[in-house]
Chains A and B, each alone.
Chain A
């Protein structure tokens, strides 16, 4: 995009600046729209599984429900508790929202269609997702109220625990792909399964780590079975209890942007990203743009997130910690060893083996 702006007669610095801002807007604005729609989908799927109708009044099929909610929240008054630590109280939702958007910089939507094509893309995503815990801790502490504080403690312990196993799982994927660059990871999956399937997940050693990754994603984004941070029967509304109006909406948007990011990551790392599912040209599906495949796959994973939300009861906190530290951590560690051994034995690393 920088070249395009340069061709309009700008100097390199200006063209780079304008191109970056344009790229950020091109990702962030559709993302906000996607978040609004995905909240609607979430509620519809949940309602359908509960044999309810879900939102069906605002607009056709209730499609505009999220926008009505957004407008309502926007018109409310922002209330700051008098005992709150004002600066941090206001900073917390902004941090949550910004960090949730920042991770999207390295997501490739199609071959080469990425804002920042950096060598350490996967590590960048890990780094940014480890930052997202700060929004929650700051909110819980600055509210100066006991339920938000309990919730913040739970959230940070939970996210740190599951980040460890997510890290090891990502190492397994990186071992297969041989790179941290997300574009190259997707390209490495082309024809991976017997020369026809474009996905890592068909490999018998990768399928179990994908299952672990999916469950860890649920825990990392604090979705139901693991939504102990906002367990309404115990903690009112968790760290958001004292928030109102737009500061509340920013938490909400950031949370769903994170969930969408995890869905996209599932698709990119294990299901071939923007590649069509099979590497043979049965129907002319190589003409379908890659972004359509990626979004379809991500939508499927979001459906699974909603499905889990509607069917699985909430975990107890000690069970959550046990699952993270005593099951996922040793299992993922063993898989790192087994997979690197397998790859060495089969000569995956070429001359290095």
Chain B
């Protein structure tokens, strides 16, 4: 009962906010609706018992990725009228993408109804994983059976990160603006100020 109410609440809000993402006129509103959709997706994950994935979804997508989206959308001066002008021109392309997605959905659901895919016999120890907590079970799988794929994914991300830094990094040419915090902290009154007592009518030589 409680699960059913929760499921329909999360599902309805998620679909409604997903519709609002594409219909909202203001791009900032779109991103905010997208965040609501992410959040409700996390709620659905909790309902199926994947609380670890749900929390990661909120931390990574809502907490970091969507903030950057929001940043970009707020900073850019997006002209909605100009974007609408391209609508007719891109309409056939949109139809093609929609048809491909529809075909994939139909095929996917059809294949799912036929039965589970069978690529090999599951190892004998698989059933014991279910009893553990979510986090421990994911860890046990990632670091034993899928350790190679996991490490490869990590290396790809590392390469992407270094690539982004290399592409955007500009070494500053000017000498000004370079600050050495250690030097600033070490500064003391003795080297920063000089006491002079000039005679009346004479200036100070620095």
Contact = CB atoms under 8 A, between A and B. Distances in A.
Contacts of A88: 28-29, 32
B55 A127 contact: yes
Given A141-B74, A322-B181, A118 B32 contact: no
Interface in B162-187: 179, 181
B23 interface: no
A160 B60 CA distance: 11
A180 B138 CA distance: 14
A131 B63 contact: yes
A76 to B, nearest CB: 28
A281 interface: no
B44 interface: no
Contacts of A120: 51-52, 55, 134-135
B58 A127 contact: yes
B103 to A, nearest CB: 36
Interface string A92-131: 0000000000000000000000000011100110110011
A120 B56 CA distance: 10
Indicate the size class of the contact surface on chain A.
20 to 34
A130 B55 contact: no
B58 A131 contact: yes
Contact of B67 (A17, A160, A167, A319): A160
B14 interface: no
A81 B55 CA distance: 37
Contacts of B133: 119, 179
A221 B26 CA distance: 30
B1 A126 contact: no
Interface string B123-159: 0000000000111000000000000000000000000
Contact of A138 (B32, B51, B63): B32
Contacts of B21: none
A111 B148 CA distance: 41
Contacts of B70: 137, 156
A127 B135 contact: no
Interface in A155-189: 156, 160, 163, 167, 179-180
A92 to B, nearest CB: 11
A131 B71 contact: no
Interface centre among A127, A133, A149 (most CB of B within 10 A): A127
Interface string B55-75: 110110011100100110010
A248 interface: no
Contacts of A131: 58, 62-63
Given A88-B32, A131-B62, A163-B63, 16 more contacts: A16-B2, A85-B26, A120-B134, A123-B59, A126-B63, A127-B63, A130-B58, A130-B59, A130-B62, A131-B63, A133-B63, A137-B67, A137-B74, A141-B28, A167-B59, A318-B179
Interface of B: 1-2, 26, 28-29, 32, 35, 42, 51-52, 55-56, 58-59, 62-64, 67, 70-71, 74, 133-135, 179, 181
The 9 closest A-B pairs by CB, nearest first: A130-B63, A123-B55, A127-B58, A127-B59, A13-B1, A120-B51, A119-B133, A127-B55, A120-B55
30 contacts: A13-B1, A17-B2, A85-B26, A88-B32, A118-B51, A119-B51, A119-B134, A120-B51, A120-B52, A120-B55, A123-B59, A124-B55, A126-B55, A126-B59, A127-B55, A127-B58, A127-B59, A127-B62, A130-B64, A133-B63, A134-B35, A137-B67, A137-B70, A138-B32, A141-B74, A156-B67, A160-B67, A163-B63, A167-B59, A318-B179
